[in-house]
Structure 1
Amino acid sequence: MTPYFRPLPRCSGPRPDDALSLAGGPFWFTEAVVLRRDADPQIIPATSVPDAVLERLTASRAPMAGIDMGGVTLMGILNVTPDSFSDGGRYLDPDAAVAQARRMAAEGAGIIDIGGESTRPGAETVPVDEEIRRVAGPIAAISAQLDVPISIDTRKAAVARAALDAGASLVNDVAGFTYDPALAPLCAARTVPVCVMHAQGDPQTMQHAPRYDDVRLDVYDFLSDRVEALVAQGIARDQIMVDPGIGFGKTLHHNLALLRDIALFHGLGCPILLGASRKKFIGTISEAGTADTRVAGSVAVALHGAAQGVQVIRVHDVAETRQALSLWRAIEWGFNDGA
């Protein structure tokens, strides 16, 4: 059976001479876990990982949409929808959307992710014209007023085209570029970076008893196949980000398994995006009922992702997450106050 390799990232303490850099960033590793479908996990020295895998694990990640992928970037969530699970209806007004984008940028968001179609479990598909109407105005206004990259969260080529024309610079597709066959060619023609996410089913059906042989390896294989398909369509590999799709066709235990082994996805040679903010599994574990009471749990998950070398963390609560990351960095690498 095919082996998969999850590095065991470290970022502090004495660095051994044989340590290897992870994704060209501040993390390093000396060991990896071998995962197989037909055998128990096994820890091996990093030097025993096959050369082709090591090359992808260690190679520096190129900037995307002007964002340095050598550290952690916060992606602020801005839903211009009436029915998103956490902030539906709050930012439908364009002025409210611009004000929220300005607030998140001031709080430390390195990119703003704007979506006009809810992808919460059970959500209905939004007509293309309506989705364009929701996103195009706010994107144009934000791009004109703020010096922050904008990502368009859509499954549809026509919506992506309108968003790119309005000023977006990255396309984030929760359907992994499987919903609209015109979307990948559009992104290739416009030479824009993309994020490809895994989801089992669509928003209406994805939480109806999702099943996997091994969720970690099944998601890895899906993303690997999608990356290769996008490259074949003309999108540069170093301009593809991957997202394991926490909460999209996954049970609580599936989500936890993906989070626990999220460093596995460094083996794809692409930056990793983690989007778990305020999701249901956080409430289930912490007994926090409504989405807006799950901030602390969301921050905990974000810190775990950062400690595993995740490059982009998609969040509702930018200020709280940035504060936690600042303390985590100071503890791991020391605090420099300019003295």
Structure 2
Amino acid sequence: MTLKLGRHSFADDATLMMAIVNRTPDSFYDKGATWAEDKAFERVVQVVDEGAEIVDIGGIKAAPGVFIDPDEEKGRVVDFVARVRDAFPGLVISVDTWRAEVGAAVCEAGADVLNDAWGGADPGLVDVAASYGAAIICTHTGGVTPRTRPFRIEYDDVVKSAVADTIAYAERAVLAGVARESVVIDPAHDFGKNTFHSLELTRRLDEMVATGWPVLVSLSNKDFVGESLDLPVGERLTGTLAATAVCALAGARIYRVHEVVETRQTVDMVNTIAGRRLPQRAIRGLA
């Protein structure tokens, strides 16, 4: 379907890069490299230059850590969203938050998308998205509490659970008033899952795509990649791109990434092989 992300629309065959911008001092990947506002803004400039259509701004790391109340989270992201909105009117701005209070503040500042990584933990978030005409990302977490790690979590069938839960969340968003074309589903690799669950979701991502809802995947440097290859954070790019290729072949639409250029090339090559995209030039044997 045509995808509408806030004030921006994309054709039904478009694949989009969502670049991660952390406004945190303790993120697992960049270790606070973009904690300072100017450094975070430099990151936005960089990823826009690299071709990202979306930036995903987050004020709290997903892992357990120091408690961050809503006011502190807003202090980290609201003014920054306004700065990015002013500088890049054509850019889709997403904010990674599960809190309705924060969602309202960032939408007021110009955000287009609310990326709820915690599966509807705050039921009011869909109402905020509806009232501001924002898009929403509906994730599957198996009902875990925000900022907790999974422990011995079990599913009869993790893919069926992900499909059922994300569709239910998506339909609840539509009932709240979010436009159907502004709802995206996400299996949420690693969130509420062990490595075997995330691998199963990757293998069977076509089942989520078959629901008709646009699918986002967040694979970049995830633990399921690190455990599969026994590699630490910072050495997982090749594994990430392999998982990306599998998800691209299945038909994922949005890719939440640290490395924009490498991911774009991977997705474009897969879609060209699949016949969904023409080569940029094809003169071999013809000229």
Q: Quick check: TM above 0.5? A: yes
Aligned equivalents of 1:329 and 1:254: distance in 2?
25
When residues 312 and 67 of structure 1 are mapped into structure 2, their CA distance, relative to the original with a 3 A threshold, is: farther
Is 2:158 aligned against 1:223? no
- Secondary structure at 2:30's aligned position in 1? coil
Matching residue of 1:54: none
Matching residue of 2:5: 64
Aligned equivalents of 1:276 and 1:79: distance in 2?
16
Q: Which of 100, 116, 129 in structure 1 is aligned with 2:43?
A: 100
Deviation per CA, 1:240-259: give whole Å up to 9, x if none.
Answer: 10001100011111001111
Paired AA for residue 245 in structure 1: A
Paired AA for residue 160 in structure 2: L
Matching residue of 2:24: 81
Aligned equivalents of 2:132 and 2:198: distance in 1?
34
| Contact 2:136 2:182 (C-alpha < 8 Å) held by counterparts | yes
Aligned equivalents of 1:88 and 1:162: distance in 2?
26
Matching residue of 2:126: 184
| Contact 1:243 1:272 (C-alpha < 8 Å) held by counterparts | yes
Aligned equivalents of 1:166 and 1:261: distance in 2?
38
Task: Give me the identity figure in percent.
Answer: 31
Consecutive unaligned residues of structure 2, counting only runs of 5 or more, are: none
Q: Which of 247, 266, 273 in structure 1 is aligned with 2:190?
A: 247
Is 2:145 aligned against 1:202? yes
* 1:311-326 equivalence runs, <5 A: 311-326=253-268
Aligned equivalents of 1:180 and 1:221: distance in 2?
19
After TM superposition, give the deviation of residue 136 of structure 1 in Å: 1.4
Consecutive unaligned residues of structure 1, counting only runs of 5 or more, are: 1-59
* 1:252-271 equivalence runs, <5 A: 252-271=195-214
After TM superposition, give the deviation of residue 203 of structure 1 in Å: 4.1
State the superposition RMSD in angstroms: 1.8
When residues 265 and 125 of structure 1 are mapped into structure 2, their CA distance, relative to the original with a 3 A threshold, is: farther
Aligned equivalents of 1:225 and 1:329: distance in 2?
29
| Contact 2:249 2:274 (C-alpha < 8 Å) held by counterparts | no
| Contact 1:124 1:203 (C-alpha < 8 Å) held by counterparts | no
Give the aligned length.
277
Deviation per CA, 1:286-319: give whole Å up to 9, x if none.
Answer: 2222x11111111111121111110001111112
| Contact 1:136 1:163 (C-alpha < 8 Å) held by counterparts | yes
Q: Which of 223, 232, 237 in structure 1 is aligned with 2:180?
A: 237
Q: Which has the larger radius of gyration?
A: 1
* 1:150-161 equivalence runs, <5 A: 150-161=93-104
After TM superposition, give the deviation of residue 224 of structure 1 in Å: 1.8
